Amino acid sequence: MTTEITFENVGAPNVSYYTPIQDPPPGTPLSLVKHKTTQSNGEITKEFPPLFTPLKLRSIILPNRIAVSPMCTYSAQDGMLSDWHLVHLGQFALRGVGLIFVEATAVTAQGRISPSDSGLWKDEQIAPLKRIVDFVHSQGVKIGIQLAHAGRKASTGAPFIISKGQLCPEEYGGWPDDVVGPSPIPWNENHASPKELTVEQIHEIEEAYVTAAKRAEKAGFDIVELHFAHGYLAHEFFSPISNKRTDQYGGSFENRVRYGLETAKKVREVWPKDKPLFARISATDWVDNGEGNSWEIKQSVRLSELLKDLGVDLIDVSSGGNTPEQKIHPMAGYQVSFSEEIKKNANINTGTVGLIRDPKLANNIVSSGHADLIFLARGLLADGNWAIKAAEELGVLIRTPKQYHYAIERFLIKDAE
């Protein structure tokens, strides 16, 4: 019997150029090169390392637990992304990660960190984002976007042009006289003196998140993440260090988290029910000035419980960024304990981030149940092949793009024999 051979190339949909359908997508574990086995009832079972197991969030299934963290590159013009972003983000779709995030994307022009930030405050910004989404999807990979408002840390310059956090004047595209925050307290002497938001303005920013989320849906994103961390607007409301209000948005814990919860509720109502919603938070201010005088892990657990009740599916756990008085001593996995505490006590999926470069450490974090996703930033900038090398080190052969098949997969199999 003769098997019919077809030479037909079937292209991926929604892209204007030919690229084959990647099924399964890059990053999918295919086989164990070095068998990891467990014994139960006398039977030996081969298992993939937890870092290379799928994660289901609503209708989205990630092939592994490696995520590209949102990384500001300060390379947009009027909020529009460019070929730089297509190449920067597109490279990861070829390299075995399970999920890619677009950098912090401002929901208003005044909510940008710098004049060169990504934005989604107008319809014209949808198309450049959709181009990136379509390419990532053509490779079978999932992509999310982080929606943000910088609050009192807005209108600064790109860190590779001037000192990080230096106020950007109007002649260079800044808006130093139109920076806002929960209270009129600057982050430091190099930042703008923010204007205290009125209740009406708070509601307008909440609605800006809603509108941006609708645009993100039009662009085709799989996940939206709300940026509630790093001393930006929501975190400024959360922390007593930066929030001195005496109305319904200040004072008690319930009042300080009100803006974040209202924003999450409104976005969840318009974001498709079958798509996940994430929130990135700073678990602590890293300031020891007495209990209740700063933002702490106990409050982060309470906030995470409330966000879960509103339909948030995963807490992306970072820390710090709200005050120059913070005392941080970074080391490999230094934020994992926060993720573990939130996951355990708020009973919600978590992601962890921060100097996680060792694949064995990343795998142990997932296997120990301390986090469900590992977010990588600088590690992937230093080595875009991190996921492929991590799989090799952990004894797994993962899928790579069909165009790379013979160069990578066959090489790894031969090398392991």
Question: Which tens digits make up the pLDDT trace of 248-300?
Answer: 999 999 999 999 999 999 999 999 999 999 999 999 999 987 777 899 999 99
For residues 202-218, average pLDDT: 98
Using left for φ > 0, alpha for ψ between -120 and 50, and beta otherwise, residue 351 falls in: beta
Residue 141 has pLDDT above 50, yes or no: yes
pLDDT by residue (tens digit) across 373-382?
Answer: 999 999 999 9
What is the domain partition of the chain in residue ranges? 29-416
User: Per 3-state DSSP, what percentage of the chain is helix, strand, and coil (rounded to 5)?
Assistant: 35, 20, 45
- pLDDT score for 35: 47
Cis peptide before 24 (omega within 30 of 0): yes
- pLDDT score for 7: 64
Nearest of 22, 19, 1 to residue 11 by alpha carbon: 19
- pLDDT score for 107: 98
pLDDT by residue (tens digit) across 84-133?
Answer: 999 999 999 999 999 999 999 999 999 999 999 999 999 999 999 999 99
For the ranges 2-11, 103-112, 209-218, 307-316, the lowest mean pLDDT is seen at 2-11
pLDDT by residue (tens digit) across 325-345?
Answer: 999 989 999 999 999 999 999
Answer yes or no: are the C-beta atoms of 315 and 335 closer than 8 Å: no
Residue 223 has pLDDT above 60, yes or no: yes
What gap in Å lies between CA 80 and CA 112, rounded to an integer? Answer: 12
For residues 181-199, average pLDDT: 96
Q: Confidence band (pLDDT; 50, 70, 90) for 207?
A: very high
Residue 304 has pLDDT above 90, yes or no: yes
- pLDDT score for 417: 47
Contacts 24+ apart (CB under 8 A), 161-169: 161/74, 163/190, 165/190, 165/191, 166/190, 167/191, 167/192, 168/114, 168/115
From 1.10.1240.10, 3.40.50.2300, 2.40.30.130, 3.20.20.70, which CATH number describes the 29-416 domain? 3.20.20.70
Residue 409 has pLDDT above 80, yes or no: no
- pLDDT score for 413: 60
Residue 384 has pLDDT above 50, yes or no: yes
Q: What mean pLDDT value characterizes the chain?
A: 93
pLDDT by residue (tens digit) across 341-357?
Answer: 999 999 999 999 999 99
Among candidate residues 17, 18, 209, 232, the one labeled active-site is: 232
For residues 63-84, average pLDDT: 97
What gap in Å lies between CA 319 and CA 325, rounded to an integer? Answer: 13
DSSP 8-state assignment for residue 156: B
Residue 324 has pLDDT above 70, yes or no: yes
Which class for 320: exposed (0-12), middle (13-18), buried (19 or more C-beta within 10 A)?
buried
- pLDDT score for 245: 98
- Residue with the bigger pLDDT between 196 and 416: it is 196
For residues 193-216, average pLDDT: 98
Instruction: Answer yes or no: 209 catalytic.
Output: no
